[in-house]
């Protein structure tokens, strides 16, 4: 007898050790140093970069987490993996690996980057922080870039290592007010979107960046080894109490990042997807560098096949569940429910690039029903991304009908 595993979800749970003998394999899924905050809320963890990140917390429902990041401020401990690339040839290596030049990124600035295989398929993406002229952190999404750096570093004077840095996100309209409340000194000036800088919180040195995975106003804190990390986390939670801060898991960004068109490595793109197909062609620069995958991308079809989709009356299943006249036409890559738009929201990849925004399909939903879906552009709103830049204060007070 076989069982359809699609009806199950697999999670990691935190259990007391109770004097058991050491388990050497446990190091393959280390917990965030601030995970103690999550333990009272029956957390369920998933693996991300071989690190544990909370998939579920009993602090709030998924919809309540969504509204918290849209209207107030949240605190989330991530599985992001910063890898340090440093030395005289660090910039040379990164210009070879990434599709965008890093030479234009000044110290104290961040840059969205991704790497491709030689055939143009995508590996993973992330936010590159330039800490100094010859020192970078690549805070990557799930995937293996460490080996890729090593493979392309032969003959270069560069050091590649895991600095044991952990990342948490503070996101929402009141996030910068909270930052001002927790810093030991004044607010960095300037502190623009995608700036990064070293600061002190609770007497501990750390780095912060104006970035996040919600497309809301927000910042991330990079916590260093050999510092009192709990002091930083406790200070944020204590100061955040006055703001009604909410500790969250991954549901906080599921629908929000879909609405914003923030793609997830491994689901929205992968080794079988070029940046053009993923709608990320604008982050490929055919300049004077010979980066990995350039030849294949120069010859590739430049058509986009990745779009948003709104679903009326349901939340789409993942996979090849979209049809037109009974024929499969593409794949639902990511799916969730938007309490703001009052409908299911998805990121989809179409088989035919001619089928774009405005295309109507039938979609199999999580409850087994078939509902109507319509493709749309990404982002679904705030097309110029003014909210995370702090140029638009858009705090919704109630849901709106999907447009």
Strands 122-132 and 109-116: antiparallel
Q: What is the pLDDT of residue 28?
A: 80
Convert 272-300 into a string of H (helix), E (strand) and C (coil).
CCCCCCCCCHHHCCCCCCCCCCHHHHHHC
Q: What is the pLDDT of residues 112-141, one digit of tens each?
A: 999 999 999 999 999 999 999 999 999 999
Per-residue model confidence (pLDDT) at position 1: 57
**Burial grade of 296 (CB within 10 A; 0-12, 13-18, 19 or more):** middle
pLDDT band at 401 (very low <50, low <70, confident <90, very high): low
Query: Distance of CA 280 to CAs 262, 302, 304, Å?
Result: 10, 10, 8
Q: Does the pLDDT value for residue 402 go beyond 60? A: no
The pTM (predicted TM-score) of the whole model is 0.95
Spatial neighbors of 259 by CB under 8 A, at least 6 apart, are 215, 308, 338, 340, 341, 345, 379, 380, 381
What pLDDT digit, counting tens, does each position of 256-265 carry?
999 999 999 9
Rounded Cα–Cα distance for residues 122 and 202 (Å)? 40
Contact 224, 203 (CB under 8 A): no
**pLDDT confidence of residue 25:** 77
Residue 276 has a pLDDT of 98
pLDDT of residue 318: 96
Helix axes 175-182, 229-240, angle to 10 degrees: 120
Residue 253 has pLDDT above 80, yes or no: yes
Kindly report, residue by residue over 157-172, the tens digit of the pLDDT.
999 999 999 999 999 9
Q: What is the overall mean pLDDT for the chain? A: 95
Backbone angles phi, psi at 188, to 5 degrees: -60, 140
Residue 266 near residue 143 (C-beta atoms within 8 A): yes
Which H or E run includes 122?
A: strand 122-132
- Maximum alpha-carbon separation in the chain: 64
Peptide bond between residue 250 and the one before it cis (omega within 30 degrees of 0): no
Is residue 271 scored above 60 in pLDDT? yes
Candidates 275, 370, 356; CA nearest to 313 is 370
Residue 23 pLDDT: 78
- Dist. CA 8–CA 6, nearest whole Å: 5
- Distance separating alpha carbons of residues 128 and 114, to the nearest angstrom: 9
């Amino acid at each position: 007898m076989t069982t359809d595993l699609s009806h199950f979800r697999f999670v990691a749970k935190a259990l007391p050790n109770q004097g058991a003998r050491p388990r050497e394999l446990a190091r393959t899924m280390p917990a965030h140093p601030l995970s103690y905050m999550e333990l009272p809320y029956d957390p369920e963890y998933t693996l991300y970069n071989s690190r544990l990140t909370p998939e579920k917390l009993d602090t709030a429902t998924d919809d309540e987490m969504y509204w918290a990041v849209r209207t107030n401020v949240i605190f989330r401990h991530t599985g992001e993996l910063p890898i340090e690339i440093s030395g005289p040839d660090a910039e040379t290596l990164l210009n070879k690996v990434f599709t965008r030049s890093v030479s234009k990124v000044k110290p104290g600035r961040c840059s969205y980057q991704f790497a491709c295989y030689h055939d143009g398929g995508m590996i993973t993406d992330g936010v590159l922080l330039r800490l100094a002229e010859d020192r970078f952190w690549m805070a990557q999404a799930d995937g293996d870039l460490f080996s890729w750096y090593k493979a392309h570093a032969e003959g270069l004077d560069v050091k590649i290592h895991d600095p044991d840095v952990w990342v948490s996100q503070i996101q929402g309209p009141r996030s910068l007010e909270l930052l001002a409340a927790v810093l030991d000194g004044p607010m960095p000036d300037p502190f623009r979107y995608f700036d990064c800088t070293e600061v002190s919180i609770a007497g501990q040195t750390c780095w912060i960046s104006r970035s996040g995975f919600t497309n809301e106003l927000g910042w991330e804190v990079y916590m260093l080894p050999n510092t009192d990390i709990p002091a930083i986390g406790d200070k944020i939670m204590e100061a955040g109490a006055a703001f009604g801060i909410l500790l969250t898991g991954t549901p906080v960004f599921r629908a929000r990042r879909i609405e914003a068109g923030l793609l997830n490595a491994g689901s929205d793109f992968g080794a079988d997807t070029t940046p053009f197909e993923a709608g990320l062609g604008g982050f490929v620069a055919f300049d004077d560098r010979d980066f990995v995958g350039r030849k294949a991308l120069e010859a590739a079809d430049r058509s986009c096949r990745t779009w948003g989709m709104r679903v009326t009356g349901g939340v789409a299943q993942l996979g090849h569940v979209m049809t037109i006249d009974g024929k499969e036409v593409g794949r639902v890559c990511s799916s969730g429910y938007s309490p703001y738009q009052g409908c299911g929201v998805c990121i989809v990849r179409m088989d035919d690039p001619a089928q774009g925004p405005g295309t109507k399909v039938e979609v199999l939903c999580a409850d087994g029903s078939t509902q109507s879906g319509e493709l749309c552009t990404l982002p679904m709103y705030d097309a110029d991304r003014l909210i995370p830049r702090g140029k638009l204060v858009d705090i919704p007070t109630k849901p709106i009908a999907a447009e």
